[in-house]
Amino acid sequence: MEVLIKEIETSLNVAEIYAHFNSRNNIMLDSSKEDKELSKFSFIGVNPFLIFKWFGEFGEIIKDEEIEKFESDPLEKLRELTEAYKIEIDNKIPLVSGTIGYISYDYGKRIEGIEGVSKKNIEIPEIYFVFYDNIIVKDLSENKTFVTSRGILKDRKISIKEIEDKIHKITKTKDEKFNFNTNKFISNFYKEDYLKAISRMKDYIVDGHIYIANMTQNFCCENSEDSFYTYRKLREINPAPFSAYMNLDGFEVISSSPERFLKLNNRGKVETKPIKGTRKRGKTPEEDEKNRRELENSEKDKAELLMIVDLERNDLSKVCKPHSVKVEELFKIEEYSTVFHLVSKIVGELREKEDIFSLLKATFPGGSITGAPKLRAMEIIHELEKLERGLYTGSIGYIDFRGNSDFNIVIRTIIKQKDKAYFGVGGGITYDSLEESEYEETLDKGRALMKVL
C-alpha cells in the first residue's frame, strides 16, 4: 500500500502541534536546536497500529488488541516486521512511513555477551518501538509541514483530513512563562564513592585493560508535574538537535540529546558523530570565549575523542565497504545553552545486504558512552556502576520503511514514572583524569535537567 503525503498550512512549531496529539504511544522527534546540517526535520508519530516491546528474555508484539509473545532475537524480529511494511517512494522526507522507538544500553550488554544484572531503579522494556499509520513532518529548512498516511487503520485521505482539521483548530499561544522550582536530587553514589570508582577505573587503565571508559551516576527526585510541561521547559532552556518526547505505556521519556549515534540513508550511506570533551558556558562573553578556546586546545579531550573515533571507525568497518569509512570532521566545537562539546564525524557506505539492524549489532552501544576497547570497558562499567543504565546511553530514533534511519545517544534525558524522575550523567575517564574535575563535569552536564526538575 502506497503512502499519501500532503503539505498543510500552519505556522505552529512541532511542540505546539504535539501538545494536541499528546496521547499514549504518540512520539515526537524534535530538532529543537535548529542546525542546517543536523536538524532539518522533526516528526510526530500518530495513530499507532503496532507496538513492539522487548523485556530482556521475551518480547511482545501488540496489534489489533492481541498480544503475540516471542523469545527470538528482537532485532531480527524487528527486521521481519519492517520488511512486511516495506515501501518504495521517492521523496526527500527521510521518514514518511515507519517506526519510532528506543533501544536501551542494557540490550547492548546482551549484544556484547556481558552476564549478570545490577540493581535497577526503574522497570521499562529494553526495546520499545511503535509503528505508525500517520507521520506529521516539519521540514525546518523550508518551513513546511506535511502529513503522511499509510492507510492501515483508516482511508488515507480521511485520516490526513482529520489531522489537518485538528491542526488548523489549534490556536497559537503566547510565549509560556515557566515555573522553575527547587528540588532535592539523590544520586546512586555518594560523592566519595564516585571519586573512588573513577580512581579504580584509572587503575584498570594503568594496568592496560582499557584506554578510556565512561563512568556515570544516576540521579532521582520527586516530581509530579505534567511530563510534557517538563519537556517544554527543557526545550526552552536547552534546545538540542536530537530531542524527543515519548509518551509510552507507564512512563515518559524527556530527551534533549546533542549527539547523533547513527544516521543511515536508503542508499547505504552511514554517519556517526561522537562527542568527547565538554566545557561549561561562561557567564560573560569573555569567559565564554575562554572556555571555548580551552576545549579547542585541550590535548586531553582531543586524545579522548581520537580514541573513540578509532573505535567507531573499527565498528563501522565490520559492515561497511572496504576503504569507505572516513573521518570527515575531527575536532569540531558545537555550542549548546549550558556547555561546549568537541565532536567528530565519521562516514561510511554499507555493504550490499547490510541494513540498519546489522549496523546496530555491529556498533551498539555507541563508543562515546562506553570506552575503548569497548567490551572490556563495558565489563568494567558493569562492575563499578551500581545501577543498570536502562535507557540512559542507549538510542532513540526512527526506522523508515524505505531504509532511512536516524538515532541519537540518550544523554541529557529524563525518564518520568509515576511521581519520580530519573536521569544519568557521566564522562570519559583516562589515565590523566582528575577525579574532582570529572565529578564536577557530570554536574555541568546535568545542570539543565536539574533546573527543569
Q: How far apart are CA 115 and CA 438, in angstroms?
A: 28
59 with 70: CB under 8 angstroms? yes
Q: Is position 259 annotated as part of the catalytic site?
A: yes
**273 noted as active-site residue:** no
Strands (E), 186-274: 186-187, 212-222, 242-248, 251-257, 260-264, 269-272
Written as nine digits, the cell of 370 is 562506553
CA atoms within a 13 Å half-sphere pointing along the CA-CB vector of 355: 15
In 157-248, the DSSP E strands lie at 186-187, 212-222, 242-248
| H-only helix segments in 145-189 | 156-168
Select which of 138, 263, 276, 345 is catalytic: 276
Per-position b or e across 223-239, b if 16+ CB within 10 A of its CB: beeebbebbbbbbeebb
Give the E-state strand segments of 114-185 in sequence order: 127-139, 144-149
Give percent helix, percent strand, percent coil of the chain, each to the nearest 5: 30, 35, 35
Please work out, in degrees rounded to the nearest 5, the angle formed at the alpha carbon of residue 342 by the alpha carbons of 336 and 343.
100
**C-alpha cell of residue 278:** 565538554
> Which helix (H) or strand (E) covers residue 86, if one does?
none
**Rounded to 5°, angle at Cα 14 from 11 and 15:** 115
The answer to whether 48 and 130 are in contact (CB under 8 A) is: yes
Q: Which of 164, 259, 379, 441 is catalytic?
A: 259
Residue 228 and residue 245 in contact, taking contact as beta carbons nearer than 8 Å: yes
User: What DSSP string describes 311-348?
Assistant: HHHHHHHTTBPTT--EEEEEEEEEE-SSEEEEEEEEEE
Residue 296 one-letter amino acid: E
Catalytically annotated residues = 259, 276
